[in-house]
Amino acid sequence: MKDKILITGGCGFIGHHFVEHLIKSTDWDILILDNLTYASEGFDRLRDIQVYTDQRVTILSADFTRPITKGVSQELGSLDYIVHMGAETHVDNSIKDPEPFIMSNFVGTFHMLEFARTQKNLKKFLYFSTDEVFGPAPENVNYKENDRYDSTNPYSASKAGGEELTLAWGNTY
């Protein structure tokens, strides 16, 4: 039986490249959960890489700042992997209006982690963050994964919060 992967934010810039990679390098069934905000440009990126009508790709529009509904859960079915890329992006946007960043990047991550707990056969949950959580890097400094956070804006703070939730859920559940 083929593996089945859920990618949140699969219509976004990084997400659609990841979908394209999986189409070319696996035989997996790919499910995309995207809220289709400004960051996704709708389905255009998936059309550009010619996967919008691919039979291995299923696209659902849902807002994970709210709990995953029973209907969406039923459509997703049993998953092997969840790659949580969906997020509000752009530092300047977070400074103008931080609430959507807290809701998507922190509360939304919580909802995805809780959904992951319902998946009996889940092999892995991957959370995509940002180097912004470490703040500005001095010249010739490369941060390591466990370096101290130094968030300098609401975007990076919300992503750091999502990282901490993911670590806590991994350690607890």
Residues marked active site are found at 131-132, 155
pTM above 0.75, yes or no: yes
Quick one: pLDDT at residue 101? 97
> What's the pLDDT tens digit per position in 122-172?
999 999 999 999 999 889 999 998 899 999 999 999 999 999 999 999 999
Q: Under 8 Å CB-to-CB from 142, ≥6 apart: which residues? A: none
Quick one: pLDDT at residue 38? 82
pLDDT of 1 > 90? The answer is no
Helix or strand or coil: residue 123? coil
Nearest CA among 97, 87, 86, 84 for reference residue 154: 97
- 14 φ, ψ to 5°? -75, -40
For 20, the token pair is 């394209």
> What's the pLDDT tens digit per position in 2-55?
999 999 999 999 999 999 999 999 999 999 999 998 878 788 888 888 888 889
CA angle 152–155–157, rounded 5-degree value: 60
> What's the pLDDT tens digit per position in 62-118?
999 999 999 999 999 999 999 999 999 999 999 999 999 999 999 999 999 999 999
Quick one: pLDDT at residue 79? 98
Quick one: pLDDT at residue 46? 87
> What 8-state DSSP symbol labels residue 33?
E
Quick one: pLDDT at residue 50? 85
Quick one: pLDDT at residue 90? 93
